[in-house]
Structure 1
């Protein structure tokens, strides 16, 4: 196996890099000496993050669900920096609430951004990663391990990206490309804070068993991801206890199937009364995706 090059010699691309996990991940990679290229929808936020990543950092506006735009960005990034060694497929949005109360277009958009956007990211950047014998890290979630009620769009999409990355790993290994999956629990980002603005969803989350009911600080989570990128790990856990969840994940659907209905029954009147508040994706990143789609239509 080819030795892993130090981060200081790498060009790393991060999607969804305007805020949250993506923005801090880009900064931490730059702190380790990597040259970073940021991809996202919010040019002002991307420029601000790029400025914090040093003079060699660049930013590129592209929607991860637009394969043509993303492929063009990948070619321009490779041409500008000369190579691409690492790609972190981090872009994602979330929607909360019962399926029957949700807007179908908004539900579908979560799957489109999180799953199909990850597929498009791989399609766009794999030629460059093949050239460099590089590394693709797909950001998944606790939601891929423990699917939960009121999160069906997010859980389905994150389960999908986990399966996609595992499948892709075997396809590209003989080309020298390694593929990893990163797992995060509830982490202090705009997305999670946006979800917590909904008092019913916040209450539901607070009643989850420990340690899944906590919100974890962003910095240690991202530092774990950076360490995984440096090792080109097949699995990266932003919170250490998530590793243990892999051993019991087969039991989780049965537990949720027994306990979940009682909670949903208790919350249903309030969920119905507040359904109109959760028709779009949560948080500032979700709002940015909605505005970008409106601007293109």
Structure 2
């Protein structure tokens, strides 16, 4: 049932499902994991607000989902800009009248060792991962409190134990876990769910790029296909996490192994990473 004072979203036979009547906003959903997560929520009946910085690609994603019969809206916004984040949340409220689910997926990654990294690139990557989650949440929180909604930060298994050549990315993703914990304590009486999903190695779009030490866009480091999950598999994990209102979800067996080793045998974990850095340089570089 819709929450008092909030209008329900329209539903139809094509979008009836467990999340019918709910509105989900997924940042960074013009492509990749975000796009497939949006599709997964649509299939469960939610109305979805898409977001990205590339207008052409964002519109193509919106049209593709709309053509499948789903309720979708889109807003071009850089979520590291608070005014843009406010505009993004306003799009959800103006279009659908409420907000039930926020998934902060937008972020920038990198491949560069810290000693080579320019301060500006470090700041850019950190901002995208921290403020890119904080700003949309800050703007959305009053509406999420009304619906006793759900917030999920998309983190990474690299936040569990660090990863050479990913200092700013790992720092930003690790910060999200502590942020979620703090918000659970501060806002326990609101009924809002705060969770974190640590994703592992995932198949990327062919044109996926990350930043190098000087801020240039370069291809992502090589990952063996046998270590990768599909974008649809990761999206399904995010959907289950939100529906079950979990505190933490670690995607992939490798992620669980990293978590266990880091917790119980941290020195062994560091030795394994250093050994892999010597033997599998293209994994990091």
TM-score by length of 1: 0.77
Of 13, 16, 19, 2:25 maps to: 13
Higher helix share: 1
Q: Deviations along 1:71-107, whole A, 9 cap, x unmatched?
A: 1221232122110000000001111121111222112
Confirm or deny that 1:48 pairs with 2:60.
yes
Counterpart for residue 267 of structure 2? 254
Of 87, 92, 115, 1:100 maps to: 115
Counterpart for residue 239 of structure 1? 252
Unaligned runs of 5+ in 1: 207-211, 271-277, 279-297
Counterpart for residue 72 of structure 2? 57
Using the alignment, how far apart are the partners of 1:112 and 1:68 within structure 2? 15
Q: Deviations along 1:101-135, whole A, 9 cap, x unmatched?
A: 12221121000001121111210111110111100
Q: Structure 1 residues 168, 103: CA separation in 2 closer, same or farther (over 3 Å shift)? A: same
Farther off after superposition, 101-110 or 186-195: 186-195
Using the alignment, how far apart are the partners of 1:138 and 1:199 within structure 2? 25
Unaligned runs of 5+ in 2: 1-16, 211-216
Of 38, 62, 65, 2:50 maps to: 38
Counterpart for residue 220 of structure 1? 233
| Shift in Å, 1:254 | 2.2
Q: Deviations along 1:3-36, whole A, 9 cap, x unmatched?
A: xx93122100000011111001001110111100
TM-score by length of 2: 0.80
Farther off after superposition, 180-189 or 232-241: 232-241
Using the alignment, how far apart are the partners of 2:171 and 2:207 within structure 1? 18
The question of whether the paired residues in 2 share the 8 Å contact of 1:115 and 1:161 is answered with yes
The question of whether the paired residues in 2 share the 8 Å contact of 1:27 and 1:49 is answered with no
Q: Deviations along 1:138-168, whole A, 9 cap, x unmatched?
A: 1011011121211111111111111111211
CA-based RMSD of the aligned residues comes to 3.2
The question of whether the paired residues in 1 share the 8 Å contact of 2:145 and 2:192 is answered with yes
Using the alignment, how far apart are the partners of 1:86 and 1:175 within structure 2? 14
Counterpart for residue 70 of structure 1? 85
